[in-house]
Amino acid sequence: MPGPMEGAVAVVIGGASGIGWATAQLLAAGGVIVVIGDIDVEGGRKRAVELGGRAEAVRVDVVDEESVKAIFEGAKAQHGRLDIAVNCAGVNLPGFITDLEAQTWQRTVDICLTGGFFVIKHAARAKTAGGSIVSITSLNARQAAAGFAGYCSAKAGLAMLTEVAALELGDRGIRVNAVSPGLVETPLVEGLTGVPAIQADFTENTPLGRNGLPRDVAEAVFFLASDASSWITGEVLDVNGGAHLRRYPDVMKHIEAMQ
């Protein structure tokens, strides 16, 4: 039986692992042809094999605008259309403001915010009209965390960029939204979930009492990518078990207590 989005074409940036991989799986199951874009192209190729004939992998580095431009232009040229773009690329390089090196700050902003700008820009250029662009922001787009200056600032910027892009692209029927996860069990946060005190603090401050799983976020991305959300744009959707209702754990304090 054909999936609900049979024949659509999606580019999933960061699709080799974590939330991106869970998203690629759901899209492929829905009948979408998936281009997995990742700096880990070998990992992406292995994932594409797992998805069978509905996927391919292309190396992309979100801080390199030409690389981002090429993946979207290539997908459009090969498949004749581009319907969905999902950006899951991100990095958190922590440090207190007074100690933070400029290059560390810049690296975080380049990947999380400027990379998001490149993805939206070139996905929109590759589209004729219609379709969906979805970015992954973070609970830290709205909740400050000591030691996360670069990450919080970049993710907050990405949330606002989502709204601006929705305004600019609405007349072409392109919907631009974002999903804002809390603590999700991905390779990016293994250093947090592996510390019992940090994990306990996150659990205490999450009303639903558990970490998220990549599929929890991917389901929300799938909804925003599909026609089921055809009248939704400029939305930053919290998917965090209610963690935005409480406080963000003091991760750096826990780390310092271990030293």
Check pLDDT > 90 for residue 109.
Answer: yes
- Say if residues 105 and 151 touch (Cβ distance below 8 Å): no
Q: Where are the alpha helices (DSSP H) in the chain?
A: 18-29, 41-51, 65-79, 102-109, 115-126, 149-169, 190-193, 196-204, 214-225, 251-258
Q: What is the pLDDT of residues 36-76, one digit of tens each?
A: 999 999 999 999 999 988 899 999 999 999 999 999 999 99
For the chain, what is the mean pLDDT?
Answer: 96
Q: Which amino acid is at 22?
A: A
- Told to judge if 151 belongs to the known catalytic residues of this protein, a careful annotator would answer yes
Helices 41-51, 18-29: crossing angle, 10 deg rounding: 30
Fold annotation for 9-251: Rossmann fold (3.40.50)
User: SS3 for 181?
Assistant: strand
Check pLDDT > 90 for residue 255.
Answer: no
Check pLDDT > 70 for residue 1.
Answer: no
Check pLDDT > 80 for residue 3.
Answer: no
Q: Residue 193's pLDDT is what?
A: 85
Positive/negative CA dihedral, 255, 214, 211, 63 = positive
* Bridge partners, 181 (sequence order): 239
User: SS3 for 56?
Assistant: strand
Q: Residue 2's pLDDT is what?
A: 60
For 81, phi then psi, to 5°, come to: -165, 160
Token pair for 230:
């055809």
For residues 193 and 86, the model is more confident at: 86
Whole-angstrom distance between the N-terminal and C-terminal Cα of the chain?
A: 56
What separation in angstroms does the CA of 204 have from each of 61, 147, 197, 200, 208?
36, 20, 11, 6, 9
User: Which DSSP category does 188 fall into?
Assistant: G
Q: What does the pLDDT average to over 172-195?
A: 93
- Say if residues 51 and 70 touch (Cβ distance below 8 Å): no
Token pair for 132:
């969906």
* Bridge partners, 37 (sequence order): 13, 58
pLDDT band, very low/low/confident/very high, at 187 (cuts 50, 70, 90) = confident
From 118, 148, 151, 222, the catalytic residue = 151
Domain borders along the chain are 9-251
Q: Residue 210's pLDDT is what?
A: 97
